[in-house]
Amino acid sequence: MQTPVRWMTAPPLWPSLVADHNRDALARPMLLRFASDTFMQDLQRLLAEAPETLATYEAVPESFQARPAGTAPDAWVSPPPPMLKLYQPAHGHFYLVAVSLVCERPGLPDRTVAPPQGERMGFVLRRVVNGQEHARLGQGTDAAWFPIESGSETTLLDGEELRPLVAMPVQQNGRTRRLLVGFLPTAEQETLDGAPALPATPPPDEEDPRMTAFNTRIISALETLAQGGSALPDDAAETASLFALLDLLDFFMLEIPTLHEAIVYGHPPDAHTAERALYDKLANADTNEDGVGDGWRIGGASWLDALQTVWEHKDELNTSGAITGTAYDLRNSTPPLETIINELPALVEAALPVQPITAHLALGTVTIAPPPHYIVRCVYERPGCQPLPFTPTDPAQADALAQHTRERTVSAPSVPFTIAAFFDPDAPMRPVRITMPDTSLQNLRKYQQNVSIVLSKKLRQQICQLSGVSMSDIEDGDLNDCDTGFNIGMICSMSIPIITICALVLLLIVVNLLNIVFWWLPFFKICIPVPTAED
């Protein structure tokens, strides 16, 4: 039996929260704020020297708006925002999630996560819209916020990004405990806020695009076989039947992978599920009072046997258009193929998983959410105690089945917060410092050959004016005497190749030689007789 575990806030805060009987704060992750690029080193030093002061670094609502003109500096206090607002690294602020994972035993010992045993931990960023949590699924521009059903907030959706947590030592009552911290991606504000929010289910009166593809690809082929009847040659009907079965399995692989694996490996899905109902029809497993299967058959074989055979020889079928020694004609199905065509779409639609994001995008149901706020939840995953229903032979199938037997411990939500935009009026400003390059020869030689230093016109005038003069000579500040007449700047480049210098020298030599050869030509008088009309 595995020991129960739970998430708690940072250990240095436990004594004060227990004294205040603040159970909610004890169970939720803590958000820390640092205003230095060396925030990780600062946190390490803090945990080693004064961990009891960690509470002073907890993120609180604060604003850094500029003081209005005419307001006394001592009297001005920037009004804080109504909700905790996190600023970006460009503003000089960095935020960390701080939490502890403990075993529910006396003393609350730290839980050690063992990745080799399939365990993992991290935190997820959730958006809250109208009181409902949304999980971010997808990558890049295809990412969107998918709503989580009420009561299922402590579950982790497939494809939800699990961000890392790292362990840092902290002293508490003479013991060394582990504080888990994770970096909040506030720099992704535009990406997070810009991702659309999607509805949980397809809108009414609109067909699932997956079923549209199924009807076009599978049902139309079966209808062609059923309508052709005896007029269709046997060899053509058998070839069309094989490809229809292969297309059906390919559709299952793309849209209902659990059913595809069950068919390929011959292991029925869980009982009382839509996948099991369709599987039983294909396997001819449904029985009547006489014990005779009333599922779907092709001659003497079940549809399941035919699908397994086709999948086993799919390479041969795709190459030659036939399977050696195997022939199936769906026109010989029992019950009649027309009956199967009427039953199959409903069974497939019921077995389809929750509509994926891409289907919603195709339906044009994307809605832009109101100004969002976010929360953080920490997640711990480990293999469950229950054994697998069978021993899988395929690694991909083993991973898929293992996901169904994993145990997840999800923390309570953190305090809600928003993320400031880059040009936010409440955001602080970093001090700006422009360092001019050292122009000594030994330092200029350190630059790569593709480095160019741009000098403005005013700076070029100042350099020219300062050359060979003292500060007393330019006390009047007149820099116009050095003006060369060109209203341009200057680019000092360290990238003049030796071949350019050689070419310039060679050009000067050639020009001088040509000048020696041809400079005396104007001293010669050359007269050329030209006939005129009088002659």
Per-residue pLDDT reduced to its tens digit, 125-161: 999 988 889 999 887 777 888 888 888 888 888 788 8
Rg (the chain; Cα; Å) = 38
Mean pLDDT score, 231-238: 82
Domain boundaries, the chain: 5-68+78-203+369-419, 209-354, 434-466+487-493
Mean pLDDT is lowest, of 73-82, 281-290, 441-450, for 281-290
- Select the more confidently predicted residue: 295 or 354: 295
Neighbours of 241 (CB within 10 A): 24
Query: Each residue of 519-531: pLDDT tens digit?
Result: 777 776 667 777 7
Which pLDDT score is estimated for 461? Answer: 72
* pLDDT above 90: residue 231: no
Determine contact, residues 451/496, Cβ cutoff 8 Å. Answer: no
Residues ≥6 apart with Cβ < 8 Å to 171: 47, 48, 51, 177
Mean pLDDT score, 191-210: 70
pLDDT bracket for residue 364 (50, 70, 90): very low
pLDDT bracket for residue 225 (50, 70, 90): confident
Which pLDDT score is estimated for 63? Answer: 92
Q: What is the pTM of this model?
A: 0.55
Mean pLDDT score, 271-292: 74
pLDDT bracket for residue 534 (50, 70, 90): low
Per cent of the chain over pLDDT 90 is 27
Average pLDDT, the chain: 80
Determine contact, residues 350/315, Cβ cutoff 8 Å. Answer: no
Query: Each residue of 109-125: pLDDT tens digit?
Result: 999 888 888 888 999 99
Residues ≥6 apart with Cβ < 8 Å to 148: 126, 132, 133, 134, 135, 155, 157
Q: How far apart are CA 251 and CA 222, in angstroms?
A: 14
Give the amino acid at 118. Answer: G
Q: How far apart are CA 290 and CA 292, in angstroms?
A: 5
Neighbours of 290 (CB within 10 A): 6
* pLDDT above 50: residue 80: yes
Mean pLDDT score, 490-511: 78
Mean pLDDT is lowest, of 81-85, 102-106, 406-410, for 406-410
* pLDDT above 70: residue 350: yes
Q: How far apart are CA 155 and CA 158, in angstroms?
A: 10
Mean pLDDT score, 346-350: 90
pLDDT bracket for residue 76 (50, 70, 90): confident
Determine contact, residues 357/144, Cβ cutoff 8 Å. Answer: yes
Determine contact, residues 133/153, Cβ cutoff 8 Å. Answer: yes
Question: Would you call 342 helix, strand, or coil by DSSP?
Answer: helix
* pLDDT above 50: residue 408: yes
* pLDDT above 50: residue 363: no
Mean pLDDT is lowest, of 174-183, 195-204, 498-507, for 195-204
Which pLDDT score is estimated for 474? Answer: 45
Which pLDDT score is estimated for 470? Answer: 47
Which pLDDT score is estimated for 150? Answer: 83
